Amino acid sequence: MNAVIKVGGKQYYVTEGSEIYVEKLNAEVGDTVNFDQVLMLNSKIGSPYLTNVTVEGEVIKNGKQRKITVFKYKSKDRSNRKKQGHRQPYTRVKITKISA
């Protein structure tokens, strides 16, 4: 079964056995999480969500992504140079079951 779910304001195309990286969830490693906001299942499309459809997943890892550098610069203005870094936290989830 194929599904499109919405998690953390983003949409993910998932199948059973696939692993996805989502925004940080309040769950520990080994916990089971349910995603109720299912937008599409196989070729059936909801408006906006399908009812009585859930996607279950198991949390594999919580962590942070690689560091990105944010550099802001305005030409001819030496006082506004700004260099920052950012590491976005994530949760890695393995999809175990898609039930309709």
The stretch 12-36 carries a mean pLDDT of 95
- Give the separation between CA 100 and CA 21, rounded to whole angstroms: 23
* Residue 73 falls inside a structural domain: no
* Residue 83 falls inside a structural domain: no
Q: Tell me the longest C-alpha to C-alpha distance in the chain.
A: 60
How high is the pLDDT of residue 77?
78
* Residue 9 falls inside a structural domain: yes
* Residue 81 falls inside a structural domain: no
* Residue 82 falls inside a structural domain: no
- Give the separation between CA 100 and CA 49, rounded to whole angstroms: 13
How high is the pLDDT of residue 83?
84
* Residue 69 falls inside a structural domain: no
8 Å CB contact between 35 and 71: no
* Residue 47 falls inside a structural domain: yes
pLDDT tens-digit map of 27-81: 999 999 999 999 999 989 998 999 999 999 999 999 999 999 988 888 887 777 7
Q: How many domains does the chain have?
A: 1
* Residue 22 falls inside a structural domain: yes
Residue 86 phi, psi dihedral angles, 5° rounding: -150, 140
User: Is the sign of the CA dihedral 12, 17, 21, 26 positive or negative?
Assistant: positive
Whole domain around residue 35: which residue ranges? 2-63+90-99
Residue 98 has pLDDT above 80, yes or no: yes
